[in-house]
Amino acid sequence: MTSTKSNPPKPKRSSRARAVPAAEQPVDRAAIKRRLLTRRLREAQALASRMTILPDGSRVFLRFDRAVRSQHLVLMVTFTTLAVTGLLQHFSHYTLIAKIVNGLGGVEALRTVHHVAAILIIAVSLYHVWTIFETWFVKRTRGAMWPRVQDAKDLVQIIKYNLGLAEARPAYDRFSIEEKMEYWALLWGQSLMIVTGLIMWFPVVATWILPGEAIPIARALHSWEAILATLAILTWHTYHAHIKTHNRSMFTGYMTEEEMRHEHPLEYERILAAYAFIQKVQQEHAAARPTPSGNGQPASPDPAKFPSPPA
């Protein structure tokens, strides 16, 4: 007779030994607090870095960095070139304009300069679109130019103020309602001018996709939008950016403290609050961190974790 050995019964798992679901694991509140503090410090440092204290004690505030100023410079030069060469071609049937066109080398010479400026403005426009996508998908923010509900309230307030129906102007943050309106009008007008300009430049290629009627339509839209944009720059932009406030920050990059307090008081207050917050954290960190010798004297804050505010 052969004996069969039965396998010993497997021990039952205790309910206490089962894996704890992630939802039931204890929350590390200290780690969450550190992450929130690190994020807040990073945001505060970005704001505080816009303020610079000069040797005489006065403070200036960075409005536009070099990349933004470079885009504006290229846009200004190319737009002016396109407006002059384009409008001269459009009105070349007038005797006086025809003489000017002939003096500049004729229509073909103007058309060549116009096309070169168009290539440059398309390049800077594509670069700007890239910066927009970077803001949305890399930095994961909508950007300061994104419309908000407060902008509609500011629009009503500034209209009432200009009509004498309100005593105070709206308090603006990073950008005013006037700046936002002009910016979005520029994006819309620039897109229309590029599309219609390419249709006129390459009519054969355009008619592979679009009907033949698209050519005269594009010519009409291009001409009228050019006139509208030129008038808007000569009136709206020139008044608000140069005559009204004598704003030179797009060329120098900076605004004085008085200009910031008057034109962008909300951003001014946020920058000062961020600067004060960084100083407070630095002082607390220095007081809580003893020196390696153990003499009880506080050490200086770690510059890698807590960057110094701008000086």
**Residue 21: what pLDDT?**
57
Q: 81-105, pLDDT tens digit by residue?
A: 999 999 999 999 999 999 999 999 9
Give buried/exposed letters for 253-273 (b at 16+ CB in 10 A, else e): bbbeeebbeebbeebbebbbe
pLDDT for 4 beyond 60: no
Cβ contact 268:256 at 8 Å: no
Cβ contact 182:236 at 8 Å: yes
Alpha carbons 8 and 145: distance in angstroms, whole number:
73
Mean per-residue pLDDT over the chain, rounded: 86
18 pLDDT band, cuts 50/70/90, is: low
pLDDT for 199 beyond 90: yes
Residues near 184 by beta carbon (within 8 Å), at least 6 away in sequence: 145, 147
Cβ contact 118:86 at 8 Å: no
Residues near 305 by beta carbon (within 8 Å), at least 6 away in sequence: 285
239 pLDDT band, cuts 50/70/90, is: confident
Take residue 209 and report the two structure tokens written for it: 């996709």
Cβ contact 199:208 at 8 Å: no
Q: What is the pTM of this model?
A: 0.79
User: How many other C-beta atoms lie within 10 A of the C-beta of residue 278?
Assistant: 23
Task: Please write down the long-range contacts of 281-284, taking CB distance under 8 Å and 24 or more positions apart.
Answer: 281/37, 281/41, 281/306, 282/306, 282/308
Cβ contact 260:270 at 8 Å: no
In three-state secondary structure terms, 51 is strand
Give buried/exposed letters for 41-71 (b at 16+ CB in 10 A, else e): beebbebbbbbeeeeeeebbbbbbeeeebeb
